[in-house]
A = this chain, B = another copy of it.
């Protein structure tokens, strides 16, 4: 089923980067890198009573202030019950504020409180620090490739969500 050695393409272009061995290394790099990627925020979060899910919620609320619960659900790709548990604790602890929609009063619009913003900053600072280090060490070309490959790996269904989020960047 796996196509094994890819070797050189008929067209003469070297496709050595598509061998199973290269793919396996990519897979393992992805595994270990993701662990590093989440390590710093995780350390901060366990000191409080929060987990990775809280981080994600806080990140995307900060990213798109006033987003509705449903929108956040689409971004995070979890069930409303799962998100609700997280949101409830964040609201109770005064990190997130939920406002009833003006146009559609069924909707809840989510905002970070100053306290919530402080946590978001703390978490993303830690995460950015690692990423900045990695980016700086490898240079702009590597970073461009990194981004291209990651984006090509995103699920088709998530493409739209990601693109919308990306273009909304300042």
Contacts and interface: CB of A to CB of B under 8 A. Distances in A.
A34 B18 CA distance: 20
Interface residues of A, number: 65
A162 B32 contact: yes
A126 to B, nearest CB: 10
Given A155-B35, A165-B28, A144 B147 contact: no
Nearest to A133: B152
Question: This chain: how many copies in the complex?
Answer: 2
A138 interface: yes
B32 A158 contact: yes
Contacts of A56: 31
A18 B132 CA distance: 6
Interface string A5-49: 000000000101110111111111111111111010000000000
Q: Most chain-B CB neighbours within 10 Å: which of A24, A31, A145, A149? A: A149
A1 B25 CA distance: 35
A136 interface: yes
Interface of A: 1-2, 14, 16-18, 20-37, 39, 56, 63, 77, 121, 124-125, 127-128, 130-138, 140-155, 158, 161-162, 165-166, 169-170
23 contacts: A2-B125, A18-B136, A22-B143, A23-B128, A23-B132, A23-B135, A25-B166, A26-B131, A26-B143, A27-B127, A29-B147, A32-B155, A33-B150, A35-B77, A39-B155, A133-B152, A134-B149, A135-B149, A142-B148, A144-B145, A145-B145, A145-B146, A146-B146
